[in-house]
Amino acid sequence: MLLTHLSTIKKNKFFIYVAVSIAVIMLLLPFFSMGQDPTGAATGTIKDLGVDTLAATQDTALNKIVSTVNTIGNADGHNKIAINIMWTLITGFLVMFMQAGFAMVETGFTQKKNVAHTMLMNFLIYGIGMLGFWIIGFAIMFGGAINPATLGGAPGVVGHEITVHLFGHDFGISGAAGAFLSSKYYDVGVYTLFLFQMVFMDTTATIPTGSMAERWTLKSFVIYGFFISMFVYPLFGNWVWGGGWLSTLGANFGLGHGHVDFAGSSVVHMVGGVAALAGAKVIGPRIGKYGPNGEVNTIPGHNIPMAIIGTFILAFGWFGFNPGSTLAAGDFRVSIVAVNTMLASAAGAFAALLYMYARGQKADPGMVVNGMLAGLVAITAPCAFVTAISSVIIGAIAGLLVIFVYNFIDRKLKIDDPVGAFAVHGANGAWGVLSLGLFADGSYGDGWNGVAGPVKGLFYGDGKQFVAQLIGTITCFVFVYFVMYFFFKILNKIVPLRSKPEDEVNGLDIPETGVHGYVD
């Protein structure tokens, strides 16, 4: 009887807590539903066409003409912003679909016994990352530049950047506006930016699921997902895209246009790749990967067709990734960006193939696939600033670099990375931003990061731009690697990173998910 009574009390307390929580949420709801421009009705005026509102005169007939011109101009300004918003949303949808590509590539390159586990990690990170970015990540990353002109937005949406003053200059280190997308930021322009940038963040967060696959516990993975989406990715992203200190190296110190990364070779891919390297180092190699005398044993993937289809999905999604980063359909550079993206991907795959033939090897589909992905990663930063020939060169070097780096990591450092996540995303993310500092031809980017004139690389007369790219690359590696390395070390003390040996040997599907990926 006593146990029954206690159980009843606990149940009643639970329902009381739920009722109180719902009441609090209902009371706070109005504060999260009042905004600047939630309908979009106030977004876009004649000013967005570069024309100020025409002033009235004393002449009645002339006033009618002025009024008509203002009306047409306001409609055109509104349509311009509407087109940019629709373009950005659609390209964001393409990037979101890349999550399916990552899931298929990583699952195809891993073993059959871990299919459900690998797929679930790639699925879960979408929702976990989104929530983390919504809670505070977006605010940290874009709180200082929350209302881009190309997406309109209401004048009342004001950002705030936390800065430190050093060497006579302000250094932005973190945004501080937009947490939870609260009522102050209930605006169509802000929401558009959130969606587009959220799916970029998810690309970063999903990369370590490949390097730590087949031995990572789901509980520790969930904690990781919130950490990288709320803090690590947003901080570096702020420094490059949110008005932070790397973006102002040009304005403050005359280093070109500061660290420039058009669509995320460093912000997205290098951050994810370096985090993947740190995680793989901490978690250790899979059982059987390395022999007692240091010999390297290949653990083949179970489904090459799945990996190749996933790569095609990723290549398709990259047309949202790179061209979408204009945030403006009216930016005619979109076509240059798209073609450069295609060419670099082709060059990467073909260079990897030629290298294997030159070494007397067969055409390993895994290396050809990674060659294409490496080309895509590398061209992501410079795609808007380089010619077609430069894109092919950048992609070809990436296709070779991915093989060299993968072999070095796998055979020399003895770090087990099942899908080559660091070689593809980390090394070639670095190569991408450095290549911009070499090949940017000065045909685009006037005013980028507040610096007059187009973006030029070393080969076109501006060696200082390469210095800015080098500073950003080193900063990314040092910051992300050490933060993520110590994060994984500490997390492992609290929630074990690695699955039990017997579970790893038998497969993680049943121990971690309770279901088989394949039912034979």
d(CA 236, CA 475): 9
Say if CB 157 and CB 184 are below 8 A apart: yes
Within 13 Å and on the Cβ side, how many CA atoms surround 307?
27
Structure tokens at 346: 């082709």
pLDDT value for 74: 87
pLDDT value for 16: 57
pLDDT value for 32: 44
Please give the C-alpha separations between residue 239 and each of 158, 259, 275, 341, in angstroms, as whole numbers: 19, 9, 17, 25
pLDDT value for 449: 97
pLDDT value for 281: 98
pLDDT value for 153: 67
Within 13 Å and on the Cβ side, how many CA atoms surround 418?
31
Element (H, E) at 173: strand 169-175
d(CA 171, CA 239): 9
The residue type at 244 = G
d(CA 414, CA 418): 12
d(CA 23, CA 126): 29
Write down the pTM of the prediction.
0.92
d(CA 81, CA 192): 11
Beta bridge partners, 456, equal: 441
pLDDT value for 20: 52
Ranges of the chain whose pLDDT falls below 70 = 1-35, 153-154
* Gap between the terminal Cα atoms of the chain: 49
